[in-house]
Amino acid sequence: MLLCYSALMRTTIDLPDNLLRRTKALAAVRGSSMKELIVRAVEREVNTGGSGDLGPSARRGDLPVVHLRSKRKLDLSKFDFDDLLT
């Protein structure tokens, strides 16, 4: 027995009224449907994200940078970094 599953899934999204109006207008100007416009926009966003890149503020391992006005070094040798995880 051969089963065929569709690769498409319906979903509902809530857009702010202003964004919805602009999306409809842009789709009309381009001669496409809102669905086509949204699918292209999501594909572009996902594809340009690279390998899991969530942007500079969400990258794992980024630490805050502290700029000291003086030339002295900041001594963190006795700082307990485990306290930051609790």
Encode pLDDT of 18-71 as tens digits: 999 999 999 999 999 999 999 999 999 888 875 555 555 555 566 666 666 777
pLDDT-based confidence at 78, cuts 50/70/90?
A: confident
The alpha carbon of residue 5 and the mean position of all alpha carbons in its chain are separated, in whole angstroms, by: 29
> CA-to-CA distance for 46 and 42, rounded, in angstroms?
6
> CA-to-CA distance for 74 and 70, rounded, in angstroms?
10
8 A C-beta contact, residue 26 and residue 34: no
